[in-house]
Structure 1
Amino acid sequence: MRTDREGQQAEQGELLMAGSTAAKAESVHTEARTSDVEVLARTDSDVGQQYELARTKVRKRRFAEALAALEELKMADPFHVKGHLLRAQTLQALGRMTESRSLFEEILSQYPDYSEAYREYGCFLLSEGAPEAAQAHLLKGLTLNPQDAFAHALLAEVYALTGRKEQAFLHLEIASRFRTEEIRYFEVYARVLSRLEELTEEVHFLKEAVFTHADNRIAKAHFKKAMRAQRREKKGLPVFMRFLRVRS
């Protein structure tokens, strides 16, 4: 039989072995967890890069290549809502309106709290000559995100097109309070300003507000370009054009 001392030594040895085994197991599990985190981070990075690639293709108007990139993105992440939305916009740019409309509606069905989808579908409907339907979607999007400058500008265009110029001016004024680098915003803003020709002083104030909130030269240059385009279309309104003159 073992003495008490021998028993204690044996017990200590077993505890040391167990501790070593547990430490090794914990080390393995920790390495596995670290590996999983690294894989997830790498996957997220790849998805982000694929999305940015698609956006670049769209900006360069290489729409077929953009769709190919978006298809790869969909396979990597079927729930990438921004990718789905960009695909709907790309289909619209290609003139595939039925497919674009169907995808917009599918996105809104699956992501009913995604304000940007309501804004972009409202933009689509406005381009299709359906201002009332566009208004409903833009208002829904603004309920979810009241600080969406582009949505306010689009809603202002709806009101301007339907003869509600006071409401159009109101939403232009609200839009001017928020910053955005969305180039289309400046195009829409210039178009709506050109429809408010009798509000000369107010238009001048809003023009200055837009310049104050444009953070980069590209946005300001684009707004100048859009305003010049509107001036060319409104040559018969010299007083209005004097107030719209953009300072260099």
Structure 2
Amino acid sequence: MSAAPMKLTLKLCLIVLSMCFLIGCATAARTGNGARSIPSLPTEERRPAPVSKAYAHYIQGLLLMRENDADGAISAFKKAAEFDPDASPIHVQLARAYLVQGKGEMAAIEALRAIHLNPDDSDAHLLLGVIYAHQGRYDEAAEHLISVLKTYPDNIGVLNSLAEIYETKQDLYKLIEVYRSIVDVRPDLEWVRNRLALAYIKVGSFDRAEAELKKTLELFPDYAEAHYNLGVLYELREEPARAIEQFEKVLVSAPNNVEARKKLGVLYASQEQWEQAIAQYEALVRQRPHVINFRKALGLLYLRSGRLDDAREQFEYSIEKDPNDATTHYLLGAVYQEQGDLDKALEHFAHVTAIDEEALRAYLKLGLLYGEKNMPGMVIEALQKAIDLGARSEPVYLLLGTAYQQQQEPEKAIAAFEEALRIRPDSAIAHFRLAVLYEEQDRFENAVEELRNTIELDPDNADALNYLGYMFAEKGENLEEAGDLIRRALDIEPDNGYYLDSLGWVHYQQGDYEGALEYLERAIGNIEEDDPVIREHIGDAHLKLGNPDKAREQYERALALDPDNDAVSKKIEDLKSAAPEPPNNPAP
């Protein structure tokens, strides 16, 4: 209920009049504090003329009110007041008539006059309480209603009006007190018990709320609203199984209860009970097929459970109804991504950014997918936008650095990987990527440092172990350590041809050419595609072992794989130059 003053309506006026009638017209026969009332006719003497005339007009006014003639009634009550201005019941009835006309201020004035004449006039207090409540003067309204309850403590209508005031003010403890009073009088009013339980929930008295709702359900087992609120209570107490049980009971008596189905769908999804969640949202879509949010939720559940075609159907329906719904475009992009249709996925993620230029997640998706399509320039553009929007994470800078590396922009790549390390200093991947860049720039010591960092953080990183070992082998340095590092890599991947090549090259640098040749030949047999570096290494080993022809054969195969390798071309030329001239045997 809003805290704004409520508009007075004719229906409300009639309710007030009914409540006053229930309280009774006892005030018409009551006097108090010197106030005068309309007396009964004496049996042995006649009324004084003014009082008698007041009584006549008063009765006329009541009759006119019964005929719904508020204007005539007001005129009659005013005449009655002229003859007997100190009779509080006349002013009460005049206030009622004004209230029927929607004249709240005039009604309040007359009710106040009645209270001035008779401070114990419950009808006047009730009228003024209701008027003030609808003017937003809640404290004053409550004060007058409490005055009524002093005389009529069990009046349900007055108690309920007071409860509505406290609910509007969110004075929950007073609200609980009033509802408890109503329950004491009428324990059979299920709606009161239900509201009492809700008030307990709001103040965090979950045990009392549970007790009240259970008592309600003992009296009214099929009361759907109590089952619903008990489900909400269990949900707040993080007892999903019990909450689900209550919401399911709601649907037994109220199968079209949308809120209960929504609750069930969310709860089942939170427990990863996808099929049960899907069943609830399928029912919601059948009930309300045009509610887009239900279709989006159902599509998301289909997506999470791997039913991609069903998910796409729901999202495409939603897009048809609202082409500029960025969320649905995003979800549809996710479906196409899962289905491997990267072009369609990119189309929808791009649509998201066209609708919302600050759609951070969409830019991240674009960066990732452009990376999969090997479009580093587009990766950079998308990720820079994401970073401008606040995306600062290790994976973002790793992907950005990789894109710069592909674009042959090493300094920008290094800056990106260094930023990744500022965000996450223990990122083994970032250390390794930096090592590769440093090695490519001939920054040997920096590369070694970053590779050692990588191995310290990730001792089973076979690529880093092999990379550092091979770097040492190429330099002819730390060969014992190089061999140990590469053997550790081979313990992890024993059939990796490139690791076998590295170990073969360590043996070569140590002068063990036969051992080198053994590992190098194993290496060439464990790679899917022929490799010019390994062929060159085999050639070098053969040459050291005094097999120039075999060496030349391997060099020629290496050159065929890498025609621009000048070093291999020179080795072939050197072998040709060193080969003895074939004998010149003239014909006899």
> Which residue of 376, 384, 402 maps to 1:52?
402
Q: Runs (4+) of structure 1 moved beyond 4 Å?
A: 2-6, 28-35, 41-44, 75-80, 200-208
Q: Give the C-alpha shift of residue 175 in structure 1.
A: 0.5
Q: Does 1:156 find its partner at 2:504?
A: yes
* Structure 1: tracts of 5 or more residues without a match: 212-218, 240-248
Aligned length: 222
Name the structure 1 match of 2:436.
89
Q: Relative to 1, partners in 2 of residues 1:5 and 1:153: Cα closer, same or farther, differing over 3 Å?
A: closer
Which stretch of structure 1 is more off in the superposition, 220-229 or 83-92? Answer: 220-229
Partners of 2:548 and 2:575 within 8 A in 1: no
- Relative to its length, the structure with more helix (as a share) is 1
1:137 equivalent to 2:485? Answer yes
1:150: how far off?
Answer: 1.5
Distance 1:71 1:54, change over 3 A: farther
Which of 435, 445, 455 is the equivalent residue of 1:98? 445
Of structures 1 and 2, the one with the larger relative CO (CA 8 A, separation 6+) is: 1
How do 1:80-229 residues align onto structure 2 when only pairs under 5 Å count? 80-130=427-477, 131-179=479-527, 186-197=532-543, 198-199=546-547, 221-222=561-562, 225=565, 227-229=568-570
Using the alignment, how far apart are the partners of 2:553 and 2:441 within structure 1? 37
Aligned partners of 1:25 and 1:44: how far apart in 2? 36
SS in 1 for 2:442: coil
Measured in 1, the distance between the counterparts of 2:444 and 2:474 equals 11
Aligned letter for 1:153?
A: D
Q: Give the alignment's Cα RMSD to 1 decimal.
A: 4.3
How many Å separate the matches in 2 of 1:13 and 1:220? 81
Shift in CA distance, 201/146, structure 1 to aligned 2, threshold 3 Å: farther
Asked if the contact 2:552–2:572 (Cα under 8 Å) also holds between the matched residues in 1, the reply is no
Greater radius of gyration (CA): 2
Q: Which AA in structure 1 matches 2:562?
A: H
Aligned to 2:330: none
Percent identity between matched residues is 14
Give the secondary structure class of the aligned counterpart of 1:153.
helix
Pick aligned residue for 1:12 from 183, 208, 224: 224
Quick check: 1:23 aligned with 2:262?
A: yes
Report the equivalent of 2:68: none
Secondary structure of the 1:196 match is helix
CA distance in 2, matches of 1:51, 1:66: 4
Q: Is the 8 A contact 2:552 2:575 kept in 1?
A: no
The answer (yes or no) to whether the contact 2:507–2:516 under 8 Å persists in 1 is yes
Find the aligned partners of 2:574 and 2:552 in 1 and give their Cα distance: 18
Contact map agreement 2:468 2:482 (CA 8 A) in 1: yes
Going from structure 1 to structure 2, the CA distance change for 1:55 and 1:25 (only over 3 Å counts) comes to farther
Q: Cα–Cα, structure 1 residues 97 and 54, in superposed 2: closer, same or farther, change >3 Å?
A: same
Query: CA, structure 1 residues 192+23, in 2 after alignment: closer, same or farther (shift >3 Å)?
Result: same
CA separation of 1:86 and 1:169: change in aligned 2, threshold 3 A: same
State the AA in 1 paired with 2:444.
Answer: M
The answer to whether the 8 Å contact 1:157/1:188 transfers is: no
Q: CA deviation at 1:200?
A: 5.7
- Unaligned runs of at least 5 residues, structure 2: 1-187, 191-216, 232-246, 248-258, 271-296, 305-326, 328-333, 335-360, 369-382, 384-394, 581-588
8 Å contact 1:156–1:171 — kept in the other structure? Answer: yes
Q: Distance in 2 between matches of 1:189 and 1:153?
A: 10
- In structure 2, how many angstroms separate the alpha carbons of the residues matched to 1:73 and 1:140? 28
* Letter aligned with residue 222 of structure 1: D
Instruction: Map Cα deviations across residues 88-133 of structure 1 (whole Å, 9 max, x no partner).
Output: 1222333333322222112111111111111010122123321333
CA contact (8 A) 2:401 2:415 kept: no
What TM-score results when the alignment is normalised by the length of structure 2? 0.32
Q: Deviations over 1:169-198 (max 9, x none)?
A: 11111111222679xx63254144134123
Q: 2:572 aligns with which of 225, 228, 231?
A: 231
What are the superposed Cα offsets for residues 29-61 of structure 1, whole Å, 9 maximum, x if unpaired? 7679989xx86x95994736335314414xx3x
1:121–1:134 CA contact under 8 A, matched in 2: yes
Q: Report the more deviating stretch, 43-52 or 102-111.
A: 43-52
